[in-house]
């Protein structure tokens, strides 16, 4: 598609995280995504950019929206997409990961989209395969396409990222979404706050360049964006919150707590939501203030842009092995 946007090089073979990307590279990905937002609203959503290419979605952990949107993204660009789900509980860690990678490499995929419950596993796999690897979430480490789709949503609603005050609230400790968003927002010149009980914050979180709050009233004061996170109980080893009711009382987003934010503050959540746990249902569904549905829409466009830039890089270096 000729968008009139000049195509700048993206000097990375893989997309493993936000850390290490420059502001220009992030802007490039967001600008490319913009054109796909329009394409995805047309009746004919398909083009041939990835014709002949194979994308494998390799998911060692459950996913609905991320896997579906990568599948749609690959198909709308004209590529062949296959989905492989592997139950993490049934695999022998490490060895099986590499075995799977070697088996798949023999089938010459151009792009591997990988989600894995262990932080660092996707990077390990990227070192072993020929094609491009996109991290679709590794443990509590990174989830770069989520941060990019969040940034695209914010940029479209607020016109910029620079100078905005963003509060990321809830289970920061287990959240790869939080880590990727903190990195991206800092690179792009936003101011990031985290709001959470002490038990749900990693040690030395301040070193990531955030302001820390332990109460919603202080943390949401005058913010432009309220980003809520799911309480990721499947990653809990032990007890982190006294009870769900108490958690909602102190940290669940409802209109009373939202009143501290700017009147036009945007509400976001990566999904899946636990209604009544980290977010009140009326707030989540508020058509004026909540961008949660738009985040899902932006997800497809962002993943199309990522597939585009990474496969362009592969063109001149088809694997010979
Ligand atoms: C997030 C994830 O898997 O990290 N979800 C997503 O990708 N849409 C957040 C979560 O699971 O809470």
Which DSSP string do the residues of 53-116 spell out, in sequence order? -EEEEEESS--SHHHHHHHHHHHHTT-EEEEEE--GGGS-TTHHHHHHHHHHHTT--SEEEEEE
Among 70, 177, 179, the mutation site with the greatest number of ligand 1 atoms within 8 A of its Cβ is: 177
Ligand 1 and 180: CB distance under 6 A: no
Ligand 1 and 177: CB distance under 6 A: yes
pLDDT given at position 3: 52
pLDDT given at position 92: 54
Ligand 1 and 144: CB distance under 6 A: no
Instruction: Classify 204 in phi/psi space as left (phi over 0), alpha (psi -120 to 50) or beta.
Output: left
Residue 177 Cα, ligand 1 centroid: separation in angstroms? 7
Among 271, 275, 302, the mutation site with the greatest number of ligand 1 atoms within 8 A of its Cβ is: 271
User: What three-state secondary structure class fits 197?
Assistant: coil
The residue to which tokens 């102190």 are assigned: 250
Ligand 1 and 271: CB distance under 6 A: yes
Ligand 1 and 158: CB distance under 6 A: no
Burial of 68 (0-12, 13-18, 19+ CB in 10 A): middle
Residue 230 Cα, ligand 1 centroid: separation in angstroms? 8
Residue 231 Cα, ligand 1 centroid: separation in angstroms? 10
pLDDT given at position 315: 65
Q: How far is CA 312 from the centre of its chain?
A: 22
pLDDT given at position 91: 56
Q: Return the ligand 1 atom nearest residue 270 CA.
A: 8
Ligand 1 and 66: CB distance under 6 A: yes
**Which tens digit of pLDDT belongs to each residue from 91-125?**
555 567 888 888 888 899 999 999 999 999 999 99
pLDDT < 70 stretches in the chain: 1-8, 88-95, 315-321
pTM above 0.85, yes or no: yes
CA distance 72 to 44: 13
pLDDT given at position 98: 82
Q: Return the ligand 1 atom nearest residue 146 CA.
A: 7
Structure letter (DSSP) for residue 290: B
Q: Return the ligand 1 atom nearest residue 61 CA.
A: 3
Among 143, 148, 180, 279, the mutation site with the greatest number of ligand 1 atoms within 8 A of its Cβ is: 143
CA distance 156 to 1: 21
């Amino acid at each position: 598609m000729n968008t009139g946007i000049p195509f700048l090089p993206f000097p990375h073979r893989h997309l493993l995280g936000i850390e290490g990307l420059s502001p220009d590279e992030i802007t490039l990905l967001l600008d490319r995504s913009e054109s796909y937002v329009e394409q995805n609203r047309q009746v004919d959503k398909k083009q041939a950019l990835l014709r002949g290419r194979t994308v494998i979605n390799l998911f060692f952990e459950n996913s609905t929206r991320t896997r579906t949107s990568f599948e749609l993204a690959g198909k709308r660009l004209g590529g062949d997409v296959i989905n492989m789900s592997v139950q993490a509980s049934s695999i022998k860690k490490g060895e099986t990961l590499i075995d799977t990678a070697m088996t798949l490499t023999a089938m010459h995929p151009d792009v591997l989209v990988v989600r894995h419950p262990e932080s660092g596993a996707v990077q390990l796999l990227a070192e072993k395969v020929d094609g491009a690897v996109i991290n679709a979430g590794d443990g509590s480490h990174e989830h770069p396409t989520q941060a990019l789709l969040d940034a695209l949503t914010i940029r479209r609603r607020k016109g910029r990222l620079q100078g905005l005050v963003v509060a990321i609230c809830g289970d920061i400790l287990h959240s790869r979404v939080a880590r990727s968003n903190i990195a991206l927002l800092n690179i792009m010149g936003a101011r990031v706050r985290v709001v959470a009980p002490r038990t749900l914050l990693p040690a030395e979180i301040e070193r990531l360049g955030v302001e820390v709050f332990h109460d919603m009233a202080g943390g949401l004061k005058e913010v432009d964006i309220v980003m809520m996170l799911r309480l990721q109980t499947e990653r809990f080893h032990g007890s982190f919150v006294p009870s769900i009711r108490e958690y909602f009382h102190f940290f669940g987003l409802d209109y009373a707590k939202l009143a501290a934010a700017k009147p036009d503050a945007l509400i976001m959540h990566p999904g899946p939501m636990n209604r009544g746990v980290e977010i009140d249902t009326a707030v989540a569904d508020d058509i004026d203030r909540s961008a949660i549905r738009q985040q899902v829409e932006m997800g497809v466009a962002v993943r199309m842009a990522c597939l585009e830039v990474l496969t362009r890089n592969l063109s001149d270096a088809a694997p010979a092995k």
